[in-house]
Amino acid sequence: MENNQETHCSTHNEVLEYYCFNCNKPVCSTCCMDHHGHTCEHFLNITEEFLKTCNMDKMMLEILRTLVQQFKFLQQSMTDPFGAMNNMMGSMNNMLGSMDQWLQGGMGMNMNMNMGGMGMGMPPMGMPGMGMPPMGMPPMGMPGGFPMPPSSNYPAQQPTPHSAPAPQPTPHSTPAPQPTPVPAVTPAPVPAPSANSKVYILSAAQGKEAHLFDVSNKDISFVQSFKVDYDFYCTNNSLCSVGEEVYCFGGRNNPKKYCVFNAKTKSFTIHDITAGCDGGYNLSVCYDGKDHIYILNGSFHIMNMTKVDRFNIRSKTFESFVQFYDYSQFHCLSLVHNNHFITLPRGESRAYYIDLNTKKVEIYNNSHLFLQSSVLGANDGAGNIYIQLNNTRLERFNVVTRELAGQVGKSPKTFTQARAMHHHRFSASEGYIYHIGEGRLYRYSIESAQWAEIGSDVQKVDRQFCGASLVSFNL
C-alpha cells in the first residue's frame, strides 16, 4: 500500500479490508457490522431508492432484496437472536423459491451463477461499486461488506452504465424530517362511563389457553380461564376487539382458522378462513372502527410481497385488499387512523401508510424510528403509538404529525419476550397501558409517564408470542 493510503480504520484500528458498495470507501469489519457506520452509512441502504432505478428483471430484484436481508440479519442477531433467526429462515425460503424458478428457466434471467457449498457466485449486477464476493452471501457471523480486491491502493470502482430503468411496483418513499419536540398527548374523546360498563383484557397463552382479566376499576383482577380448541402460538399481534367481541386470526398451528370470543357470554367460536385471505401466523390485525378488520399476512411471504386482506364483520367474508414489497415478516403494530392503514415492521426504521380509498402505499423513512428491538406496541386511538423496546425504553410516535417523542417511560424490568400490551383511557385525565406476561402484571400511566407493577400473573403460563386484546362494553 502507498504511504499516503491508510491501512487501518481510524475508529476501530482494524485493517481496512472491505469496500462500501455505495461510496467506495475502504472500511473495516467492525464498520460493516455497525448500522450507523463510523466510517460509512451505506451497508444496509440497498433500498427501494436504488432498486427502482436499476435495470434488472423482477426475479433478480427479489434475489437482491433477499441478499440485503442477510446483511441485516447479521446486525439483528446481535440484539435479538430469536427474531433474527426467524427472519433469516423466511428470507432463505424466499431465495430458494426464486432460485428454483430461475433454474427452471421461467423468468429468462441473463445471469451466470455457480452453485457451490453454501454460497453462490454472482457477477456484478450493474450496481455502482458493487461486486459480490466469491461466495455471494457471507456465512452467518461474518461481516456483511464486500471484500476488497487484492490491490495496494484500493482503487475506486466505477459505476456500471445501465439503460433507462424499467418501472417497478415500488411504493412511494417519503424522507423523514429531523426529529422535533413532540407536544403533550392529546387524548382521544372518551365516552361518559356507565355504571354497567366493563373493561376486560383477554390474554392468550400457549397450550390452547386463554385468560380473562378485569381492569374496569383501573387495577387488574383475574376473572376466568378457558381451555380452547385453538392454538394461540404466534398470534401476538393477531387479536383485536370489535364491540363486545375479540377476534383472533391464524396462528402457527392453525393458519387457516380464526376464533371469536364474546365477552358477555364468555364463549368461543372457531371458524375457517375462506377464499380472499391467505391466513398465516404472526399476522398483524386491526379494526377500522366501521365494517372491516385488516389483516397483514405476517410470515406467509411469497417473494417478499406483503399482502393486506380484510374481513367484513357484517357479512363474515374475506377479500384481498392490496399487496406491496416488504421483506419484514414481523410487524410490531398495525392500526387504521385517518382513513389510512398504518403498519410498523419490526427490524426496520420505517412505517407504511396505505390510503384505504386509493390503495396507494407510502413508505415513511425515519432513522430515529428504529424498531430493531421492538417487542410490544399499543395505540391510544388519537394517533399516538407507544413502542416498548426489549430493554426498559418506552417510546411514543405520532402517526399524524410523524414526530417521535423518544423515551417517554422506563419499565420496571426489561421486557424481552414478544406478547402484547393495550391502551385504555378511562377519562380525559386518566389513560393507561396494560402489559400481561413474564410472570407479572404491569400498568403504565400516560399522564405520569410511569410504569407500576400491579400484581402477579397467578396462572403461571407461557404467554410468549401469544396475543391479547382489551375489550370494553356495557352489560
pLDDT tens digits, 347-369: 778 899 999 999 999 999 988 87
Number of domains in the chain: 2
CA distance 109 to 106: 8
Contacts of residue 285, Cβ cutoff 8 Å, sequence gap at least 6: 237, 238, 239, 240, 247, 249, 293, 294, 295, 296, 334
User: Regarding predicted confidence, which is higher, 475 or 317?
Assistant: 317
Is the pLDDT score of 4 beyond 50? no
Choose one of 75, 93, 122: the last residue of a domain. Answer: 75
Confidence category of residue 321, pLDDT binned at 50, 70, 90: very high
* CATH, residue 233: 2.120.10.80
Predicted TM-score (pTM) of the model is 0.63
The larger pLDDT score, comparing residue 231 to residue 327, is at 231
What is the pairing mode between strands 221-227 and 393-398?
unpaired
pLDDT band at 33 (very low <50, low <70, confident <90, very high): low
**Residues β-bridged to residue 435:** 421, 442
Question: Are residues 68 and 216 located together in one domain of the fold?
Answer: no
pLDDT score recorded for residue 103: 47
In a domain, 183, yes or no: no
Cα–Cα dist 350/347, whole Å? 9
Residue 171 lies in a domain: no
Torsion 54-127-11-4 (CA) sign: negative
184-205 tens-digit pLDDT: 555 555 554 566 789 999 999 9
Q: Which of 75, 96, 125 is the last residue of a domain?
A: 75
User: Distance between CA atoms of 398 and 403, rounded to whole angstroms?
Assistant: 5
pLDDT of 10 > 60? The answer is yes
Domain for residue 161, yes or no? no
**Percentage of the chain surpassing pLDDT 70?**
58
- pLDDT, averaged across the chain: 72
Per-residue pLDDT tens digits for 376-428: 788 898 899 988 877 778 889 999 999 888 788 888 777 766 567 889 998 88
Q: Do 323 and 306 touch, CB atoms closer than 8 A?
A: yes
Domain that holds residue 466: 198-474
Report pLDDT for 304.
61
Q: Are 260 and 273 in contact (CB under 8 A)?
A: no
**Rounded to an integer, what distance in angstroms lies between the CA atom of residue 474 and that of residue 460?**
30
Q: Which residues of 33-59 are buried (b: 16+ CB within 10 A; e: fewer)?
A: bbbebebbbbbbebbbebbbebebeeb
Nearest to 258 by CA among 270, 276, 267: 270
Residue 8 placed within a domain = no
Encode pLDDT of 89-114 as tens digits.
555 555 555 454 444 444 433 333 33
